[in-house]
Structure 1
Amino acid sequence: MTGLVEYAERHPWLTDAIVVAALLGSGVLGVHLVGPGDSRPEDVWVADAVTVVACLAVFGARTHPRATVVVTTVCAVVGGGLGFLLTPLLLAPVMVALYWLAVTTTSRTAWTYGAVTIVLVVGTAVGADIDETVALRSVGPALWLVLPLVMGSRSRLRDALLDAVRARAEHAERTRDDEARLRVTEERMRIARDLHDVVAHHLAVANAQAGTAAHLLRRSPELTQKVLADLQTTTSAVMLELRDTVGVLRNGGADEDGLEPAPGLARLPELIEACASAGLTVDVEVDGEPRELPAGIDLTAYRIVQEALTNATKYSASGSASLRLGYGARLIIAVANETRPGDPGAGRPGYGIVGMRERAHAVGGDLRVSDAGGRFEVVSSLPLHTPAATP
């Protein structure tokens, strides 16, 4: 059945030709049909001609439904006026025209034309003879003409529903593709931030340690040996973290037994010690009562401090930096260091500052950077609780 419907939709002219041929056969039969006790009206050839015109007009029902309804209605009224019985056989062209009118136009237009057609046809069928058969002669044609209007309206609503479903499906497909691309972009940015945080910090510390070792090599071999040992520890740490990161990317997941917990503010002493081995003295000040933070905010706070101290290691003019942690309504992180006048690298917005700002915004915080009066400062405000996801 579905294949027949699809074939009819692909070959509308052939379908219309078959329908018109069937209408011609039924119309001619209706013209020559005579009720019991009735005589055949004269001018049969006129009725046959009118029937042929009405049937041929159906060819235009798809493209010109209003005109087709008018032509077929006039032909039916003429046939009824000549005294022929308006059976469904003679009303079939009008019924087909009303069906296509209901399918292709608005409901208001279809029922307006339909009401006028029903009044004209029923009025012709009843005529001036008011007897006991008037109800039969009026109700019958009216019901036959209402039927195609109802079927056509139902078909139009069904097609509209199918179009809406297809449109929603296409929109969902486009949305899914856009969401997938957005997720890929966000994941790429997250990986870039993680790699930068891991590699930039350790390499900056390693570079400072190597410079310190070269400076102390002849004057203090023992201290040089300690600095080189710290350098080895730093390079080992970066290799391990890079191995873990690449392993997650290659395997699509992580081995829970082989991963350490994500770093947080609890590892600040290790971070400050690494900076000290690179020649940066960090003065730490804590305001308020430290408290346990959600894992995401704890990691964000650690990465912001790590990147800020990495910048201080590279650009501090005095070899020192200050770190202030304030626990109040929000977590305030402030890292400051003196800069060398005319240093092109100090304060220049790079990937590190961009990454810190993105991390802060991702958890509902903010970050600002100032570079004035020979002092470079990074200040971030983070919530103490993970913000609720919006639906």
Structure 2
Amino acid sequence: MDMSMVWRQWLTRHDRVRDALPAVPLIVIAVAATAVGNSAWHEPHWDKVVWTALSCVPLVVRSRWPLQVALFTLAGDLTLMTVVSHTSPTPAACLVAVYTLALLGDRRTAWIVGFVAAVTIAGVYSATHADSVVGGAGLVRFDFALGATVLGRTVRSRRDNLAAAKARAERAERTREEEARRRVTEERVRIARDLHDIVAHHITLVNAQAGVAHHLMRDNPEQAYQALAHIKDNSRAALDELRATVGLLRQPDDTPGSRAPVPRLSDLDNLADGFRASGLDVRVTRTGTPSPVASSTELTAYRIVQEALTNTHKHGSATRAAVVVDYGAKGLRVTVTDDGRPGVPKGAGTGHGLIGMHERAAAVGGTVSAGPRAEGGFQVVAELPISPRSRLTPA
């Protein structure tokens, strides 16, 4: 591990040590400054070094109370400048405290304290050295105090910008993850609807035809044989549609030829033939002027008819059903009606079929209404647009 990283982590855990670190070089500089004479080195003025060390003591808590430390060190440095004016000391502890206040405090307070410190330091220096306030040494001290404030605010702005950029990146990452989860959920729901429609439809037909074959096996083997043939056809159709649906989960490099064609409105006659073979008389009627319909709308209409007929055959007491496909100028109206007896309940189901109808219609911008008729039976009406208007349409 990088030693600088270890050192920074250690300082983060020991904030008092971190705050006191600037005092070490300041004291060393004070010792060196007081030991330099006009022509040679001499014994340091230890009283001045002690004053410098005392002025650095508040720095230990500069990150906890930056304003109080800035004011205290300013007073201490001004006192030091007054007491030992002949050595021209630099208010280093005050500069560190002003920098810390600019880094950690609010902007207004930092600039007020920084300006006051700059003016007072320059004024005291000029008064104790009989120098002009705008003179060279006084102006340098004025610039040092303002420079500490400017440096602190610059570092603060940079940290704030980095923190804001990091927050934006994290928020964007969370947004991408949430969007990905939402799309995955929508795709799972859509595939679940397809699987429900396929399995419910074909298993219902297979169950009905198996019952017919079992009933006729001894008395009429020929009709029982035909029922078994219908079971075979429906089983193959179920496998093909399941393969097409599961094909949605394949990788992009899988061959498209492994997927079965998507059902369309022209396949409603074959769908009706399957129900007629299982004992439900289904008639398909088309009205209006046929016009090109989006493939997603065709699939939605087909699945709604399939689910409605499956519910009629599985739950209802009907023997006949009528499917009417009406091509309008701007929309497609699909009506499925059966002849169930009045007052006879539709049957006990999970309700997923009706929910799937509504979700399918809403996915392409349409609506579905379903309910019993007063004269008996059940009716499902779907109003679908010619072209889908939603942001997510069935594939």
TM-score range, shorter chain: 0.7 to 0.9
Please, what TM-score do these two structures have when normalized by structure 1? 0.85
Give a deviation string over 1:344-390, Cα, whole Å, max 9, x none.
44485622111111211222222121124223111112221132639
Q: 1:205 to 1:28 in 2, by over 3 A?
A: same
Match of residue 24 from structure 1:
27
Post-superposition shift, 1:112? 1.1
Match of residue 42 from structure 2:
none
| SS in structure 2 of the partner of residue 196 of structure 1 | helix
Give the number of aligned pairs: 382
Match of residue 355 from structure 1:
356
| SS in structure 2 of the partner of residue 127 of structure 1 | helix
Match of residue 74 from structure 2:
73
Residue pair 1:360, 1:367 contacting (<8 A) in 2 also: yes
Q: Is residue 151 of structure 2 the alignment partner of residue 161 of structure 1?
A: no
Post-superposition shift, 1:246? 5.0
Give a deviation string over 1:47-79, Cα, whole Å, max 9, x none.
554322211121121111111111111122223
Match of residue 289 from structure 1:
289
Post-superposition shift, 1:265? 0.9
Q: Is residue 333 of structure 2 the alignment partner of residue 332 of structure 1?
A: yes
Please, what TM-score do these two structures have when normalized by structure 2? 0.84
| Alignment partners' CA distance in 2, 1:318 and 1:215 | 20
| Alignment partners' CA distance in 2, 1:70 and 1:86 | 23
Match of residue 238 from structure 1:
238
The one-letter code sitting in structure 2 at the alignment partner of 1:100 is T
Residue pair 1:248, 1:254 contacting (<8 A) in 2 also: no
Residue pair 2:85, 2:129 contacting (<8 A) in 1 also: no
Post-superposition shift, 1:143? 1.1
| Alignment partners' CA distance in 2, 1:347 and 1:253 | 43
Give a deviation string over 1:242-261, Cα, whole Å, max 9, x none.
35545665778753122222
The one-letter code sitting in structure 2 at the alignment partner of 1:330 is G
| Runs of at least 5 residues in structure 2 that lack an aligned partner in the other structure | 40-44
Q: 1:253 to 1:375 in 2, by over 3 A?
A: farther
Out of 378, 383, 386, the position equivalent to 2:385 is 383
| Runs of at least 5 residues in structure 1 that lack an aligned partner in the other structure | 37-43
| Alignment partners' CA distance in 1, 2:342 and 2:97 | 89
Residue pair 1:315, 1:339 contacting (<8 A) in 2 also: no
Q: 1:64 to 1:246 in 2, by over 3 A?
A: same
| Alignment partners' CA distance in 2, 1:240 and 1:254 | 17
Q: 1:307 to 1:386 in 2, by over 3 A?
A: same
| Alignment partners' CA distance in 2, 1:143 and 1:83 | 21
Post-superposition shift, 1:33? 6.4
| Alignment partners' CA distance in 1, 2:159 and 2:73 | 26
Give a deviation string over 1:91-127, Cα, whole Å, max 9, x none.
2111110111011111111111111111111111222
Give a deviation string over 1:285-338, Cα, whole Å, max 9, x none.
333222222222221111111111112223454411121222222222111112
Q: 1:57 to 1:316 in 2, by over 3 A?
A: closer
| Alignment partners' CA distance in 2, 1:255 and 1:292 | 28
Post-superposition shift, 1:153? 1.1
1:108-187 correspondence to structure 2 within 5 Å: 108-127=108-127, 134-187=134-187
Match of residue 207 from structure 2:
207
Q: 1:325 to 1:82 in 2, by over 3 A?
A: same
C-alpha RMSD of the superposition: 3.2
| SS in structure 2 of the partner of residue 260 of structure 1 | coil
Residue pair 1:99, 1:152 contacting (<8 A) in 2 also: yes
Q: Report percent identity of matched pairs.
A: 36
Q: 1:190 to 1:339 in 2, by over 3 A?
A: same
| Alignment partners' CA distance in 2, 1:159 and 1:228 | 76
Q: Is residue 269 of structure 2 the alignment partner of residue 266 of structure 1?
A: no
Segment of structure 1 superposing worse, 123-132 or 137-146? 123-132
Match of residue 368 from structure 1:
369
| SS in structure 1 of the partner of residue 75 of structure 2 | helix
Q: 1:15 to 1:317 in 2, by over 3 A?
A: closer
| SS in structure 1 of the partner of residue 275 of structure 2 | helix
Segment of structure 1 superposing worse, 357-366 or 209-218? 209-218
| Alignment partners' CA distance in 2, 1:29 and 1:331 | 94
